[in-house]
A and B are shown apart, each in its own frame.
Chain A
Amino acid sequence: MNTTERKLVRMMADTFLKLDHIKKYFGGVKALKGVSLEVRSGEIHCLAGENGCGKSTLIKVISGAHDATEGEIYIEGSKIDKLTPIESIRLGIQVIYQDFAVFPNLSVAENIAMNRALMTGNKKMNWKEARELALQAMEQIGAHMDPDVLVERLSVANKQMVAICRAIINDAKLLILDEPTTALTANEVEKLNTIIRNLKAKGMAIVIVNHKLDEIYKIADRLTILRNGENVATGMITEFDRARFVKCMTGHEVADTIYRPEPSDEEIVKVENLTKKGAFEQVSFCVKKGDMLGITGLLGSGRGEIGDALFGIAPAEEGVITLNGKKIEIHSIQDAMQHKIGYVPEDRLTQGLFMNRSICQNTVAASIAKYLGKMGLNHNKMKEITNYWIKTIGCAAPSAEATMRTLSGGNAQKMVIAKWLNTEPSLLILNGPTVGVDVGSKADIHAILHNLAKKGIGVIIISDDLNELIHNCNKLIIMKNGRTSGVLETGDMSEAELTGLLNSGM
């Protein structure tokens, strides 16, 4: 063993942060029920778990934003009694949130240098120093940006670079990244991983919150999985195979209900050479009766843009769309809806739901004109139909009048689907239909979709959940840099094969 290796081993053994049975209650809600976590200097530690498992609460405890109800926190071996946000920063903990918390109206240099100035309590703004500091930080991670450009003009990946630069100039010892890859393209993820590995080599402890298996395998040294506010497993990444990982995440064995319909000749929707410059090119596919078509690809591959184009949010420029034997043109959302196309958007909270309105109002939002009678809108009929959907779709809702806010993610998503079913769609496009949905509801939603497909409604699922796609779609399109693989029959394709296809040059 040479000296560098020995040094590395010693560093690996240095525990930077230790959480011991952390509990956090919000009123009666137990967000964390005794979570223990150990993060060592010079390691990349992944924190995985489904939505609502307590990951973000745990991060907030570490960053000092939340006070733990019970439990002990040790940093570099010494017990911390009360961790405040500023104390946490002083101890070398830096969090990069999902929205990066950068200032869009300020320049790159100022964004990067600002935290340092705040930490030192400097009252003056030194522009020259800020610029130098920014250039230094950017050099450290190998980023190249004009320090004078305003952050509002940066791409998502570069905004993240700014956030990372800002974190590392404060002598960070522990860097926490909250779902850093959700908005990055494949190339950008690669670049980010390189940067993270470099920081690790410098002895920094790194915690990455993520739940995508492939990405975790690429970068993590160790893994901790949370479920329902408890940690269910911790260990070296090599100790986890896919089956164990999924079981730890969901608490269930994966039930293999594979949807493979009888072949049919009845064409529901046919898309030929759909093109939108800068987003996707020459996309062609056909959905026949009973088919479930999946569209996948990494972020920025154009997978979401196809959905946006078919629903008229960002219409395509060229191509022919045939729906139930009729050629249609889609230039706006109104066009799409006239042709009975429905769209379950990616971001349920901001795009799909009216959180402060009742379930009933949410259900009829896209089909309100149906209830216009001679005497104006018929509110009773709306309530009836809502109750009908709550029952049909299996939503656990107290009543039609309860506000949307009271529903869980899975139930809320069911109502978004009900909103579109109530428009009697010919084609339903779902972008990430089960993101942040619990396992039970996930299965329900898939069953609903299978039924729709059998009834002759076109169903297109856009997703990055490969497992979901393999089990539910009999046809698949893989997008890469705006181009398609052509339609693949999933048949008995395995997830590993699909992963291979996804990352291959095609």
Chain B
Amino acid sequence: MEKSKKFFKEADKNTLALFGIAIMIFAIMGIFAPKSFLGIANLQGMCIQFPEYGILALGMMLAMISGGIDLSLVGIANFSSIVGSIVMIKTGGSGISILFGIATALTVGALCGLFNGFLIGYLRIPAMLVTLCGLQLYTGLGLAVTKGPALTGLPESYSLLANGAFFGVPIALIIFLVVVGCVSYILKATVYGQQVLYMGTNDVASRYSGINNLKVTMKTYLTGGILGAISGVLMASHYNSAKADYGSSYTLLTLLIAVLGGTDPDGGKGRVAGVAMAVVVLQLVSSAFNIMRVNAFVKTFVWGLLLLVIMIITKLVENRRKEA
């Protein structure tokens, strides 16, 4: 009882509202399409899909908390998974070479993130511009390496990472939960986690409090890069191939999730629980659409509409609070 009380106290209204929406979708779909929606196949299918962009959304959230934005995440994901895949193929495709490939991908992602962080933190170019350019740059690098088509011939066992299950629980879901746990820990329990919040709230005051803004910015985009790479590894495993333009719709989606999860685009505010909940809600909506055989493009339309509506409501509530 104590524990659940504490849980509700710590979760903010936004997260609770999302939780409510998720349960509502489950209830409605459970009534109208119980077999297809609540079936194991659908549940597993959902669990394979959302970790890919859910992890990206966490990277977006971190960048937004720091007062910036990261539009290059999808580019990083694809480029790092391409390099990782090449390493995997070149080293023979054994178990060790898969691990080696994944390690390479994460390293590449980290380097891309560091490059973003350097341009934003050291040269002080606006984050939006840097990461918009970064998206082009990393996608371009991916294209340059693959010459265009998807990179195939990945080891069979590699695809288990995204598509396999561990005691019935999809491995992708486990990875997602681990990442959520890590990011949550970083934000809540590390010095960096507090510093990024300070910097996002007021970067001058954070400098005058002895926080090294450059270091914090670098760490933020480095983490973003690694998260991008993890998502890239999952995508490559999911399709069993790597390509420079997989997941091109994810940039908008991650932005939507971050905002939906209660992250403030002006910086200084964001919750892992909220973002994780937003990921689940969006996947449920998406899945419900699929089952109702709604045209896939309607989703793009709805995502955009949702983003606008949520932002408008947030702003209106904020304005009202200011007036009061």
Contacts and interface: CB of A to CB of B under 8 A. Distances in A.
Chains A and B touch each other in the complex, with CB atoms below 8 Å apart: yes
Nearest to A372: B191
Nearest to A337: B210
A200 B223 CA distance: 62
Interface string B206-246: 11111110000000000000000000000000000000000
A156 interface: no
B205 A377 contact: no
A419 interface: yes
A109 interface: no
B198 A376 contact: no
A366 interface: yes
Contacts of A354: 198, 201-202, 205-206, 268
B212 A377 contact: no
B63 interface: no
Interface in B185-201: 185, 188-191, 193-195, 197-198, 201
B188 A355 contact: no
Interface of A: 313, 333-334, 336-337, 343, 345, 350-357, 361, 364-366, 368-369, 372, 375-377, 419
Nearest to A346: B208
Contacts of A366: 209-210
B190 A351 contact: no
B16 interface: no
Contacts of B209: 365-366, 419
Given A333-B212, A356-B268, A368-B195, 10 more contacts: A313-B208, A337-B210, A350-B205, A354-B201, A354-B205, A357-B201, A376-B185, A376-B190, A377-B190, A377-B194
B305 interface: no
Contacts of A343: 208
Contacts of B204: 350-351
Contacts of B268: 354, 356-357
Nearest to A353: B205
14 contacts: A313-B207, A313-B208, A333-B207, A333-B210, A343-B208, A350-B204, A356-B268, A357-B197, A357-B268, A365-B211, A368-B191, A376-B190, A377-B190, A377-B191
B198 A357 contact: yes
A462 to B, nearest CB: 14
Contacts of A353: 202, 205
B190 A372 contact: yes
Nearest to A333: B210
Given A333-B207, A333-B210, A366-B210, A350 B202 contact: yes
A313 B59 CA distance: 31
Nearest to A420: B209
Nearest to B211: A365
Contacts of A364: 194
B172 to A, nearest CB: 27
A222 to B, nearest CB: 38
B203 to A, nearest CB: 10
A361 B202 CA distance: 13
Given A354-B198, A354-B201, A375 B189 contact: yes
Interface residues of B, number: 23
Contacts of B205: 350-354, 365
Contacts of B197: 357, 361
Nearest to A345: B208
Given A333-B207, A353-B205, A376 B194 contact: no
Chain B interface helix/strand/loop/mixed? helix
B201 A376 contact: no
Contacts of B188: 376-377
Contacts of B193: 377
B198 A377 contact: no
Contacts of B210: 333-334, 336-337, 366
Contacts of A333: 207-208, 210, 212
B239 to A, nearest CB: 37
Nearest to B189: A376
A355 B206 CA distance: 12
Contacts of B202: 350, 353-355
A361 B206 CA distance: 12
Contacts of B269: 356
Given A354-B205, A365-B198, A334 B190 contact: no
B226 to A, nearest CB: 19
Interface string B102-116: 000000000000000
A355 B198 CA distance: 10
Nearest to A347: B204
B212 A369 contact: no
Nearest to B207: A333
Contacts of A377: 188-191, 193-194
Contacts of B211: 365
A446 B188 CA distance: 36
B314 to A, nearest CB: 15
Nearest to A382: B194
A187 B198 CA distance: 39
A215 to B, nearest CB: 28
Contacts of A313: 207-208
A369 B215 CA distance: 15
B273 to A, nearest CB: 16
B20 to A, nearest CB: 25
B195 A334 contact: no
A369 B208 contact: no
A74 B205 CA distance: 44
B212 A334 contact: yes
Contacts of B201: 354-357
Nearest to A364: B194
A368 B216 CA distance: 14
Contact of B191 (A351, A355, A369): A369
Contacts of B195: 368
Contacts of B208: 313, 333, 343, 345, 351-352
A354 to B, nearest CB: 5
A364 B212 CA distance: 16
Contacts of A375: 189
A477 B324 CA distance: 48
Contacts of A419: 209
Contacts of A355: 201-202
Contacts of A357: 197-198, 201, 268
Contacts of B194: 361, 364, 368, 377
Nearest to A348: B205
A408 B123 CA distance: 37
Nearest to A379: B188
A337 B205 CA distance: 15
Interface centre among A336, A345, A368 (most CB of B within 10 A): A368
A313 B212 CA distance: 12
Contacts of B191: 368-369, 372, 377
A38 to B, nearest CB: 34
Interface in B263-306: 268-269
A350 B202 CA distance: 7
Nearest to B199: A354
